[in-house]
Chain A
């Protein structure tokens, strides 16, 4: 169902309540998501982005209820991952000659996906497209989060169509940030930033500052996923400037895996030691094999110190810890301290191996870690408390 945003702009996207994972299974989307597409009706008519491929027919059918497709003068593709470009084939079947405005990288990506020789119009930062009373201005934003990404600013209605930037995987029928639970939205916005945008924080910082310096009047930020930022849209810009700047809180995140509870006991004792030494520090324990991987990464992002523990198994560490180490490497966390711990039976390689991987992932290693054999006794647990206390 289309939703009117302003006299000229209508939301024509798809709310996906059922979506529980994204990028295959790389990103959990517990609260669903939306694929936001926007129809602008000025003297000229422009469509900004489409929806994910499985909903292509539904999208086009609903768009037809809203407008005669032949009245669409321009299609603007801010980013061409399949969750936004997926309905293009179905749409272009109906209006094959309609120009598609995108970056040069965007054209290459659309061609690479759909292998169609559509009417592409390449745009660069500063290029404009007058629609009548309003004008679209394009702002290239490479690697936020793909090479093709751009923002589109609509003067007159003062809307920034930011695509994945400022987005959240959050399904709601209520459309606006001021109509939903803000705690939920901010949690999803943070999780989205950490898991998708954090590797590109230097570009985020530069691009957001560039957009702020343009001093554009800003009534709405309309991302491609989740709610539209209507109430104080600058709040998410301010958050991005914080998150992109080696963000951390006074938090220690202890991530562990355990086979027979020994490493879990160590984790708990370490947490107790930290909490006693520094009562104001937030301590969070997360089981790598049980907790959601993207929630764990989000809590690693918030932390100033990350402790990672695994029992030694087959001369190595657990599969869940291995996955998180690889994901943490890719997310390029900045200015975070880390150390490893774990229990073992006879060989005990895990702690050293995890330490090496943490270092390769860009963490500043605090010490060589702590490892204990078999089941920790009272003295061993006290040693864990002491080890934790000395970290803060």
Chain B
């Protein structure tokens, strides 16, 4: 059923694929380097002394001797360039440093937080995709009422702030009905509300994009011809149009991930879940530079992996891009 099966592809594709892989790896390394550098210098713009952050944070009574000692110990008395190179050197060896506030290795800290956030984001992304596809397929090309209703649901969902949606969900499903716990304590039931909170606005957004391409796709002759061959309306929808409808949404998934991580800051705070978002917020407040850098790098890494993944998926789904890559 896939147009442009492997046999159709030019033979140069293998060499090109190798080239592409090389470029991807180089690109990924570049992104990580740039993100680390950007964070390093951006954080230096924040008013506040890192040595203070190390010595008990704001409002501390640290003595001048203690401050000087810490500056020496952490190399903060060195020129900025030396500090920067030292940081890069540490990063290359996989050393993320030690948290200023918690005095623990950043890698250990983040390792403990990563799983929760990834689980939350992945489940939310999956649910958002399901909701969006369901809504788009159900409401597209079904006449004005369904269409208007679908659009209304999408726009409203996309316009819901996480913190407000969370409050309403807690009021209804925890306080009102007593079905789900308002604070996520690591149980599966505790994950439901956070995942829904994150997924619903994203689903509204994705559905919006999908509907547009779905509409375009459904007018196209191959769909018409499939209908003419006697396939059912639903069959056509499921087999031919989804892939095309999904295309722009797939390329949006990288965006969606960043979006979800930003949302995670709020959602993790409300549902009291451990995770990267909350860690990041606390680290920024406490000027805990190694932790901020660590979270950003980790997110960048996840993002880079996600990009490769969406790239591959897009290529499978859209032969136009595949051709471009092989050219």
Are the chains A and B members of one assembly? no
Q: A residues engaging B (CB < 8 A)?
A: none
